[in-house]
Amino acid sequence: TQLLEQSPQFLSIQEGENLTVYCNSSSVFSSLQWYRQEPGEGPVLLVTVVTGGEVKKLKRLTFQFGDARKDSSLHITAAQPGDTGLYLCAGEGGGTSYGKLTFGQGTILTVHP
């Protein structure tokens, strides 16, 4: 069974601060997705990283895939109240896990004005 450890579980910060969310595993993933979910809605895909060492930027969000494709991070610069939500990482594995995603435990981010 592939496990994806996500941390921290809760993050409460002030507007303008920076933050980083981590996802770590002992397993190799062929790709890793990051989702954001707001109350009453389904998760929305933010980004997919595929190549080891890959870095993708989405405005103030920076996503990185580890060289060995076992870990990933999400860094938010100058957080805003609109960034508040549940952030989920999800890894895709091959073989018997084909087509399925392994989700991290999630990080609840609260950005205070």
Q: Which residues bind another protein (CB under 8 A)?
A: 6, 30-31, 33, 35, 39-45, 48-51, 86, 88, 90, 92, 99-101, 103-106, 108
Q: How far is the CB of 103 from another protein (least distance, A)?
A: 5
Count other Cβ atoms within 10 Å, centred on residue 68: 11
Residue 68 vs 78, nearer CB to another protein:
68
Count other Cβ atoms within 10 Å, centred on residue 47: 18
Alpha-carbon distance of 11 to 111, in angstroms, equals 8
Residue 54 vs 79, nearer CB to another protein:
54
Task: Enumerate residues 6+ apart whose C-beta is below 8 A from 98.
Answer: none
Residue 16 vs 81, nearer CB to another protein:
81
